[in-house]
Chains A and B, each alone.
Chain A
Amino acid sequence: MTAPARAAAPAASGPWRVDLAHPADFAAFRNTARKLTAAGVDPRDVVWQVAQEDDAPRGLFGTGRSVDALPEPTPETAPRAPRAFLSLAEAVVCHNAPERFALLHRLLARFAAEPKLLDIASDPDVAKARTMAKNVARCSHKMKAFVRFRETTDADGTARFVAWFEPEHHTLDRTAPFFTRRFPEMRWSILTPDRSAHWDGETLTMGPGASRDVAPDGDINEDLWRTYFGAIFNPARLKVKAMQSEMPKRYWKNMPEAELIAPLIKSAASRAEAMVAAPALGPARSTRIARERRSEADAVAALGDHFETLADLKRALGHCTRCPLHGPATQAVPGEGALDAPIMFVGEQPGDQEDIAGKPFVGPAGQLFDRALADAGIDRNRTFITNAVKHFKFEPRGKRRIHQKPSISEIHACEAWLTAERRFVRPRLTVALGASAARSLLGRTVTIGKMRGKPLDWADGTPGFLTVHPSFLLRLPDESARRAEYDKFVADLSRVREISVATGL
């Protein structure tokens, strides 16, 4: 490691010479590159040299024209660069390739004519710089991952955690702050061949490189850590390549757990074979539990459509598999409300939010319905609200669940539950919201437009009434149509209130 001979007399011609104090000296690079670009120096005429970098052309130390002679750029002459270039350059400077400085200088010089250059990912210079930045980011990430501290004691008796690490690139300067955020109350040092970082609980100090032998050679916890590493490995799924691509061998020598890798791989096949060959056991309790399960299901089935209490009905509903909708849905959503309600509202099926909450009419349509009920002078607490179909039917699309109309057979499969609920509540008036509810109560398909707003009789002869489903209002794209339809809906609900009053409620 030769120190640059800075005393040599600056040459008047020939290539320009830049001496950098350490391999990731971004501040010095930035200042110099500004001056060089402002002065219009051709990037090919510059030799960048790093004090500690072995592969720098030593013969040139101290020779060539010194950039000190160049003037400071003025606001007019200072080179301009896209904002993204700064963070890119900060990363690239940490790369171990000697040509990194020339590459960045060249990019900076090109921005004058090609201001959008960084957007052209296929440009060879841009592609190269991006690849180098990616390598540096990865290296920095691996440092965060693979540094292993060992506990020692400082002269004053305080614990200090010391790690020896050999990064591929010069990433300690940009990675050390991460460790100050993570371990602020510990004293620690990270030593690498060309830089070192020290934290005393308050200040981060960067220093020169160190050698491995100053780092401690063990830690009391490493035995436990190796035990963990060995135990968490599953010998039945050996994927050595996958391991190595994420944890390259170059890091192994400084990781205490790595000594287990070879023996674990070696014994994996025989351990896995032994597991497969071992005699299998029958599940001890499964058969009994399965029998119990079946008997519970049988008991529920035995209840048929006749339930002692509404709680019985809900329990049985929870086990319903009468149609395929129970598979994707979260839960069956039972009706809710006053058991002596004079009015029962029947919607179509639970929606996305009802499926999650397990309660009917809590989503956007439910909120609109609440508002309309209030505007019509109906107290929701004095009603019973349920659905014709108890499970949410949907189709996943993108990140959402899109409501699907229940089929006639699904409505039919669910009829018994609605009938049972109506038997408990015995409402004087049952109001169908929308076509699916009407289909269930009437046993045939109807056109809402023709039949809404007038009293009618359901298939079982009980008094009924039909109006739209509140979600219909939500789907109207036009604001004025929505307002008109809302008024019509409230008028229907007001009629419902009048009928219920007229029938002596």
Chain B
Amino acid sequence: MPPSTGRTRSLKEKLAILADAAKYDASCASSGTTKRNAKASGGIGSTEGSGICHAYAPDGRCISLLKLLLTNACIYDCAYCINRVSSRIEREAFTVEEVVDLTLSFYRRNYIEGLFLSSGIIRSADHTMEQLVRVARTLRLEHRFQGYIHLKTIPDASPELLAEAGRWADRLSINIELPTERSLTSFAPEKSSRIIKSSMAHLKTGIEAAKRTPREEKTGRAKPRRFAPAGQSTQMIVGADGASDLTILTTSRTLYTSYDLRRVYYSAFSPIPDASSALPPAPPPLAREHRLYQADWLTRFYGFELSDLEGATAGGMLDLEIDPKLAWALAHREAFPVDLNRAPREMLLRVPGLGVKAVDAIVRTRRYRRMRFEDLARLTPTARKAKPFIVLEGWQPARLLDDAALRQRFIKGPSQLDLFAAPPPPIAHTSTATLPLAATTVL
């Protein structure tokens, strides 16, 4: 791709252009892949389960992977994208070697966990995918790079290229881009949700084929060829079209269950230089993205169904001022207060302010002692948020729960929550001396 100025740009100038072009993809995860390290295998790099964010930009987003576009030239014209063919930005392209060298230089200095490589579509889907695969192959084979690699997958690329991409990459992703087929058709006419979905189905098939069930491991079935051990993810742009939060969540719920996605990333539509007139001029509030993630978590880890969330929205939109779990609780006060010393785990998970870890700690602890509010306060920093919704030894929310202004108190900030405070009762612990011996070890 010859630069428009006619002179060759320096590596630094290229990096500035091709990192800038890549920043609208929110995904940066480096977790969930196989555990491996160069000490065992030779070469450089390791992945140990949890991802590592090596820096944070002032936009609050983590920098874990070196996120680059191989080229920002593109033959597509997706209205929301800075790299679309009709945008008058400067165009550049890295060589395969430049990306490989940058990745290794940054990795050695501990700036990054690995590489997230994407690209504009040049010439054809296969040609573009071939370039992406070459970078990953060079890193893995020539440099025995054991760090994390995330490749963006071009939906129309050939099955052979996808199979090779899965062999070198930890994660593959195809962006669904927009919450509805109709929006996709109008904003990204070259893309087809039909092809995107069947590509996701194809990846799912590959990912599953590469996994052995515990039984197959026992019976010694040969290890299948590696294929994207960190699974697949996708991204949806929020606020560019008129889709409601409920529509967005319905789409992501379908995607999660259909294709076993590890994550659906929500990216609040962001103004871009040289924007298309098809887009709204102003971005949606950033809080919207945050609320969507919270609601997404509720359906994946807290046992909420979409029908539950529907009751916590107004016209399909989540409350921007309070989190969706609190909104649900305020709309379902008849389900509260919940007695933390007795209620089943599913109900504890519905209490505002209690996360999965706090809930598990409560379930463990209450086997041995009846919990008071001070006990809860030691388990979680957000105990005060839960206060109006719970019953504990020595604590009843009484009329607080029926207070019409309860929502207002949460919005005014946590200092207002002191109004809920009861005088601290003395700490009394029951003795646990008579409990049976646990599995112990000699220290």
- A264 and B364 form a contact (CB under 8 A): no
Would you call B189 an interface residue if the criterion is a C-beta within 8 Å of the partner chain's C-beta atoms?
A: yes
Residues on the B chain within 8 Å of A223, using CB: 12
> Most A CB atoms within 10 A — which of B11, B111, B194?
B111
Which residue of B43, B62, B286 is within 8 Å of A185 (Cβ)?
B43
- A232 and B85 form a contact (CB under 8 A): no
How many residues of A are in contact with the other chain, CB < 8 A?
106
Whole-angstrom distance between the Cβ of B152 and the nearest chain A Cβ? 16
Would you call B256 an interface residue if the criterion is a C-beta within 8 Å of the partner chain's C-beta atoms?
A: yes
- A75 and B109 form a contact (CB under 8 A): no
> Most B CB atoms within 10 A — which of A34, A116, A149?
A116
- A231 and B19 form a contact (CB under 8 A): yes
- A186 and B58 form a contact (CB under 8 A): no
Instruction: Look across to chain A and name the residue whose beta carbon is closest to the beta carbon of B113.
Output: A145
Whole-angstrom distance between the Cβ of B441 and the nearest chain A Cβ? 5
Q: 5 tightest CB-CB pairs across the interface, nearest first? A: A239-B60, A242-B60, A122-B375, A284-B86, A231-B19
- A278 and B55 form a contact (CB under 8 A): no
- B77 and A119 form a contact (CB under 8 A): no
B131-139, B312-320, B395-403, B428-436: which one contacts chain A?
B428-436
Would you call B379 an interface residue if the criterion is a C-beta within 8 Å of the partner chain's C-beta atoms?
A: yes
CB contacts under 8 Å to B, within A204-242, are 219, 221, 223-225, 227-242
Would you call B382 an interface residue if the criterion is a C-beta within 8 Å of the partner chain's C-beta atoms?
A: no
A353-361, A431-439, A464-472: which one contacts chain B?
A353-361
- A240 and B58 form a contact (CB under 8 A): yes
- B181 and A237 form a contact (CB under 8 A): no
Which residue of B53, B88, B200 is within 8 Å of A145 (Cβ)?
B53
- B439 and A397 form a contact (CB under 8 A): no
Instruction: Look across to chain A and name the residue whose beta carbon is closest to the beta carbon of B369.
Output: A120
- B277 and A280 form a contact (CB under 8 A): yes
Q: Please, how many angstroms separate the alpha-carbon atoms of A219 and B286 in the complex?
A: 36
Whole-angstrom distance between the Cβ of A151 and the nearest chain B Cβ? 8
Would you call B205 an interface residue if the criterion is a C-beta within 8 Å of the partner chain's C-beta atoms?
A: yes
- B271 and A276 form a contact (CB under 8 A): yes
- A231 and B15 form a contact (CB under 8 A): yes
Which residue of A186, A228, A355 is within 8 Å of B108 (Cβ)?
A186
Contact with A along B46-68 (1 / 0, CB 8 A): 10101011111111111100110
Residues on the A chain within 8 Å of B427, using CB: 124
Contact with A along B378-394 (1 / 0, CB 8 A): 11000000000000000
Q: Please, how many angstroms separate the alpha-carbon atoms of A221 and B108 in the complex?
A: 10
Instruction: Look across to chain B and name the residue whose beta carbon is closest to the beta carbon of A332.
Output: B194
Contact with B along A60-90 (1 / 0, CB 8 A): 0000000000000001001111110110000
- B364 and A225 form a contact (CB under 8 A): no
- B109 and A356 form a contact (CB under 8 A): no
Contact with B along A382-419 (1 / 0, CB 8 A): 00000000000010110111000000000000000000
Would you call B87 an interface residue if the criterion is a C-beta within 8 Å of the partner chain's C-beta atoms?
A: yes
How many residues of B are in contact with the other chain, CB < 8 A?
111
Chain A residues at the B interface, C-beta cutoff of 8 Å: 30, 33-34, 37, 75, 78-83, 85-86, 108, 111, 113-117, 119-124, 127, 141, 144-151, 161, 163, 178, 180-186, 219, 221, 223-225, 227-243, 246-247, 255, 257, 261, 264-265, 268, 272, 275-276, 278, 280-286, 289-290, 293, 318-319, 327-328, 330-331, 355-358, 394, 396-397, 399-401
Residues on the B chain within 8 Å of A396, using CB: 253-254, 256-257, 306
Q: Please, how many angstroms separate the alpha-carbon atoms of A83 and B79 in the complex?
A: 58
Q: Please, how many angstroms separate the alpha-carbon atoms of A137 and B144 in the complex?
A: 29
CB contacts under 8 Å to A, within B351-393, are 361-362, 364-365, 367-369, 371, 374-376, 378-379
Q: Please, how many angstroms separate the alpha-carbon atoms of A85 and B259 in the complex?
A: 40
Instruction: Look across to chain A and name the residue whose beta carbon is closest to the beta carbon of B283.
Output: A236
Would you call B8 an interface residue if the criterion is a C-beta within 8 Å of the partner chain's C-beta atoms?
A: no
Whole-angstrom distance between the Cβ of B404 and the nearest chain A Cβ? 31
Which residue of A146, A161, A184, A276 is within 8 Å of B38 (Cβ)?
A184
- B275 and A278 form a contact (CB under 8 A): yes
- B271 and A149 form a contact (CB under 8 A): no
Would you call B273 an interface residue if the criterion is a C-beta within 8 Å of the partner chain's C-beta atoms?
A: yes
- A182 and B38 form a contact (CB under 8 A): yes
Instruction: Look across to chain A and name the residue whose beta carbon is closest to the beta carbon of B41.
Output: A184
Q: Please, how many angstroms separate the alpha-carbon atoms of A115 and B187 in the complex?
A: 63
Which residue of B12, B15, B77, B205 is within 8 Å of A283 (Cβ)?
B77
- A119 and B378 form a contact (CB under 8 A): no
Which residue of B85, B108, B275, B443 is within 8 Å of A275 (Cβ)?
B275
Instruction: Look across to chain A and name the residue whose beta carbon is closest to the beta carbon of B439.
Output: A83
Q: Please, how many angstroms separate the alpha-carbon atoms of A261 and B306 in the complex?
A: 40
- A257 and B55 form a contact (CB under 8 A): yes
- B58 and A330 form a contact (CB under 8 A): no
B20-28, B165-173, B225-233, B411-419: which one contacts chain A?
B20-28
Q: Can you list 13 A-B pairs, Cβ within 8 angstroms, ordered by A?
A: A75-B442, A115-B436, A119-B368, A122-B369, A180-B39, A182-B45, A182-B46, A239-B286, A247-B55, A282-B277, A285-B85, A285-B86, A286-B77
Q: Please, how many angstroms separate the alpha-carbon atoms of A283 and B120 in the complex?
A: 17
- A82 and B369 form a contact (CB under 8 A): no
Contact with A along B177-202 (1 / 0, CB 8 A): 00001000111011000100110110
Would you call B282 an interface residue if the criterion is a C-beta within 8 Å of the partner chain's C-beta atoms?
A: yes
Given the known inter-chain contacts A122-B379, A228-B15, please indicate yes or no for A161 contacting B108, CB distance below 8 A: yes
Q: Please, how many angstroms separate the alpha-carbon atoms of A327 and B182 in the complex?
A: 10
Which residue of A83, A119, A280 is within 8 Å of B279 (Cβ)?
A280
- B443 and A81 form a contact (CB under 8 A): yes
> Most A CB atoms within 10 A — which of B61, B62, B109, B286?
B109
Whole-angstrom distance between the Cβ of A270 and the nearest chain B Cβ? 13
- A286 and B189 form a contact (CB under 8 A): yes
Given the known inter-chain contacts A122-B369, A318-B194, please indicate yes or no for A116 contacting B438, CB distance below 8 A: yes
Q: Please, how many angstroms separate the alpha-carbon atoms of A204 and B198 in the complex?
A: 50
Contact with A along B270-311 (1 / 0, CB 8 A): 111111111101110010000000000000000001100000
Whole-angstrom distance between the Cβ of A291 and the nearest chain B Cβ? 9
- A281 and B379 form a contact (CB under 8 A): no
